[in-house]
Structure 1
Amino acid sequence: MSFFGIINIYGQNNLEKQFIDVESKVIEWRQHFHQNPELSNREFKTANTIAEHLEALGLEVSTGIAHTGVVGLLKGNSSGKTIALRADIDALPVTERNDLSYKSTIETEFLGTKTGVAHACGHDAHTAILMGVAEILSKNKDQIKGTVKFIFQPAEEGPPPGEEGGSKLMIKEGVLENPKVDAIFGLHIRSGVDVGQIHYKPGGAMAAVERFTINVKGKQTHGSEPWLGVDPILISAKIIDGLQTIISRESELINEAAVISVGKITSGVRFNIIPESAELIGTLRTLDPKMKTHIMKRMKAMTETIAKAYGGEASIVFENFTAVTYNNHNLVSQMLPSLKQVAGQNNVLQIKAETIGEDFSYYQEKIPGFYFYLGGKPKNTTNPPLHHTPDFLIDESGLILGVKAFTQITFDFLNN
């Protein structure tokens, strides 16, 4: 039986009115967070706004978790399981480029570079949606059998260098305990998905993400006499070229996708000096553990061998950013009817895995979890603005479906 069936049995048929009433609040919250974005582990004002709202609803509220995280606890009128709903709250070092009335004009310095700060991925929407869900559920807690844990998580985009943060630190500080969480759910607004639709993928949905750093050592010399030195820039170019052959010629891509991308190269100070060293920074994305092990092994061997072949030296270091976002098959099967109940049978679509990463995956390593996409494509667009770009944009009319989806999931999971 769905939650709406339960509501009708108990005579509380005003839920749809509650959704209508909360929608304007969700949009207002989203615009407030959008205009006042904060970077990872620095979401102080954002956390205060969230905590004040949860406290006003009468929830048990904990703050300062994983630096700036907020957790609200809503206990139903009878005992039962515990469900967790998670929203990420951090913004990105991106300078927003649009004419919105609530456009971010915040500026800061990030890793030595002056930049704007913007919610260029949609975390402001996730936060507002979960605040709306908390309001709806708190008004209907007499129908809740069990406990709802609202997790507002900082630093999903990754903590600053030298700091801990994100879901790893939330878990380390006990967010899945007291009470112990039985299952966790998350969502992500997508600018490329039509409003009203929900997309999902059972099993491996998003990739494990590794950050790699390659240090190349050569021999400095005058640019006019390259034969007297060892050129680390040339070696870097050969390494980059070689790494791509691991994907194109050694990886079983009919099994799962994999990607190697070098995003930053640093070397040299002057046009006529061949420098002594170079640094390459990039990312590896994998969806299969065996492929990940093989690719990392080959990247190490190829990096060292290519450098040696050209008279230099090179080493590679990996840093894990996310695990595979793995949607528990049983949980997906159990909760799909809930999503179809609110979105419609034809609006809940299964998709293929993607090579983006999400630190929600670390929760899923501990307990069953289900992460899905929510449509937010702007109206009248054929090429919607991409996430993590200055032009990112969403249609706010899609937010209320996120509120409905989390609400339906909560009641169906706890009461069935």
Structure 2
Amino acid sequence: MSVQSIQNSVTEVLEEVISWRRHLHQNPELSFQEEKTAQFVYEKLHSFKGLIISRPTKTSVMARLIGKQPGKVLAIRADMDALPIQEENLLDFTSINPGVMHACGHDGHTAMLLGSAKILTGMQEQIKGEVRFLFQHGEELFPGGAQEMVDVGVMDGVDLVIGCHLWANLEVGKIGIVYGPMMASPDTFDITIEGKGGHGAMPHQTIDSIAIGAQVVTNLQHIVSRKINPLDSVVVSVTQFSAGTTHNVIPGSAKIVGTVRNLNPELRSKVPKIMEQIVKGITDAHGANYNFAYDYGYRPVINDSQITKTIEDTVKDVLGQEAISMEPPTMGGEDFSAFQTKAPGAFFYVGARNEEKGIIYPHHHPRFSIDEDSLKNGVNIFVNATFNLLNKNLIK
């Protein structure tokens, strides 16, 4: 298929894509609760021709488009869940569900994949292999919907997988490309310091959990650059410190909670060992006890170089060299990585920011929005990349 013929098809479905996105934005649902969203997607897919549609889990949808010629299997993923945020935008399609908002662009991801599915069903004769459309639930809430879909077999037989994220940090018209590590593993930790409480006027009779906890917090910051090479991408952040109930009582316990972000799978198992060594050393020195819990979150997203190169070449062909923005890795997490455990894949950004229109707010902000021109770009790349990845046999 030519770039121009695909562009014409994108133009024909664009109005629908925008309307789908607005419907989804107005009717958001939280992670693992996307029942109406999944039903909406299911019904739209049924209105297209040539798809084999299923419901892998309660709130996810999969559609298979089998081309008329043999070839590989490409999966394309979009997430569908919203966030527990009260929307502050004043739009004709502002969320009608109190305290729930599409504040990360997942409404746009779903609409773009629906548009891509509609276009590709009309091009079934020209497709070599199979395109598998994965509409995923629960990206925002660990353990994530991606792993659940993988566990029930949606990736069985898949040769390669792609996905994208509408990106508030990138101007509309730009496509962000990242080779290799792209997004981090968002792990969490929970530390409890068990000391001995007492009167604030007589601290010598206590084992001060706050003073000990403060030392723990300070020393955790020594991990990066003192225990780990500063050139390695690791972040250790304490985000909660809770202890005590009043001004004149030294509490018997203190709780420390935070996150560790990592782009290197080999370092991932090393960090918690260093953390516990620090906690143990400090608590032992002061006669306190501790409890250390470390939970592994999503795996890091690491892009396959060959698939990423195909995406980059597709952007050049479709939008021009000037549309390409080579982006650095981010320490944010994404459970797209679960699909990459079953097949090589690539994730990319679709610019959605427009300062002239006041579309400037970051992801997870109550005034987050997207420039809807970005939807056209996302569909264009998805459809063109499908033919480049399957029909040109660029992936061996």
The one-letter amino acid paired with 1:233 is I
Structure 2 equivalent of residue 319 of structure 1: 295
Structure 1 equivalent of residue 155 of structure 2: 176
Change (3 A) 1:221 1:390: same
> How far apart are the structure 2 equivalents of 1:311 and 1:96?
48
Contact 1:378 1:393 (C-alpha < 8 Å) held by counterparts: no
Structure 2 matches for 1:139-178, cutoff 5 A? Answer: 139-159=122-142, 165-177=144-156
Change (3 A) 1:311 1:326: same
Structure 2 matches for 1:200-219, cutoff 5 A? Answer: 200-219=177-196
Change (3 A) 1:414 1:92: same
Structure 2 equivalent of residue 16 of structure 1: 7
> How far apart are the structure 2 equivalents of 1:377 and 1:182?
33
> How far apart are the structure 1 equivalents of 2:73 and 2:229?
40
Among 68, 73, 91, the residue aligned to 2:59: 68
The one-letter amino acid paired with 1:60 is I
Contact 1:200 1:349 (C-alpha < 8 Å) held by counterparts: yes
Determine if the alignment matches structure 1 residue 50 to structure 2 residue 41: yes
Structure 2 equivalent of residue 195 of structure 1: 172
The one-letter amino acid paired with 1:61 is I
Question: How big is the shift at 1:403?
Answer: 0.2
Cα displacement string for residues 333-362 of structure 1 (whole angstroms, at most 9, x for unaligned residues):
234212221221121122221111111112
The one-letter amino acid paired with 1:133 is S
Determine if the alignment matches structure 1 residue 362 to structure 2 residue 362: no
Change (3 A) 1:147 1:379: same
> How far apart are the structure 1 equivalents of 2:32 and 2:240?
24
Structure 2 equivalent of residue 37 of structure 1: 28
The one-letter amino acid paired with 2:255 is E
Among 124, 127, 134, the residue aligned to 2:110: 127
> How far apart are the structure 2 equivalents of 1:261 and 1:226?
29
> How far apart are the structure 2 equivalents of 1:274 and 1:102?
51
Report how many residues are paired: 391
> How far apart are the structure 2 equivalents of 1:382 and 1:298?
45
Determine if the alignment matches structure 1 residue 103 to structure 2 residue 94: yes
Contact 2:168 2:370 (C-alpha < 8 Å) held by counterparts: yes
Structure 2 equivalent of residue 310 of structure 1: 286
Structure 1 equivalent of residue 385 of structure 2: 409
Look up the SS of the partner of 1:156 in the other structure.
coil
Structure 1 equivalent of residue 82 of structure 2: 91
Structure 1 equivalent of residue 306 of structure 2: 330
Question: How big is the shift at 1:316?
Answer: 1.8
Cα displacement string for residues 87-129 of structure 1 (whole angstroms, at most 9, x for unaligned residues):
011111122222222222423xxxxxxxx11111111111111
Bigger shift: residues 211-220 or 397-406: 211-220
> How far apart are the structure 1 equivalents of 2:291 and 2:357?
45
Structure 1 equivalent of residue 374 of structure 2: 398
Cα displacement string for residues 25-80 of structure 1 (whole angstroms, at most 9, x for unaligned residues):
111111111111111111111100000011111321111x3431110111112222
Q: Which runs of 5+ in 2 are unaligned?
A: none
> How far apart are the structure 2 equivalents of 1:309 and 1:384?
49
The one-letter amino acid paired with 1:50 is V
Cα displacement string for residues 120-145 of structure 1 (whole angstroms, at most 9, x for unaligned residues):
11111111110110111111111111
TM-score if structure 1 supplies the norm length?
0.89
The one-letter amino acid paired with 2:203 is P
Contact 2:359 2:370 (C-alpha < 8 Å) held by counterparts: no
Contact 1:70 1:151 (C-alpha < 8 Å) held by counterparts: yes
Look up the SS of the partner of 1:376 in the other structure.
strand
Among 375, 389, 406, the residue aligned to 2:351: 375
Question: How big is the shift at 1:382?
Answer: 8.9
Determine if the alignment matches structure 1 residue 249 to structure 2 residue 226: yes
Look up the SS of the partner of 2:222 in the other structure.
helix
> How far apart are the structure 2 equivalents of 1:383 and 1:23?
20
Contact 1:304 1:315 (C-alpha < 8 Å) held by counterparts: no
Look up the SS of the partner of 1:74 in the other structure.
strand
Structure 1 equivalent of residue 327 of structure 2: 351
Change (3 A) 1:383 1:292: farther
Look up the SS of the partner of 2:237 in the other structure.
strand
Determine if the alignment matches structure 1 residue 266 to structure 2 residue 242: yes
Look up the SS of the partner of 1:234 in the other structure.
helix
Look up the SS of the partner of 1:322 in the other structure.
coil
> How far apart are the structure 2 equivalents of 1:382 and 1:94?
20
Determine if the alignment matches structure 1 residue 233 to structure 2 residue 210: yes
Bigger shift: residues 326-335 or 237-246: 326-335
Q: Which runs of 5+ in 1 are unaligned?
A: 6-12, 108-115
> How far apart are the structure 1 equivalents of 2:265 and 2:188?
16
Contact 1:158 1:321 (C-alpha < 8 Å) held by counterparts: no
TM-score if structure 2 supplies the norm length?
0.93
> How far apart are the structure 2 equivalents of 1:224 and 1:287?
47
Contact 2:177 2:312 (C-alpha < 8 Å) held by counterparts: no
> How far apart are the structure 2 equivalents of 1:18 and 1:192?
28
Question: How big is the shift at 1:211?
Answer: 1.2
Structure 2 equivalent of residue 224 of structure 1: 201
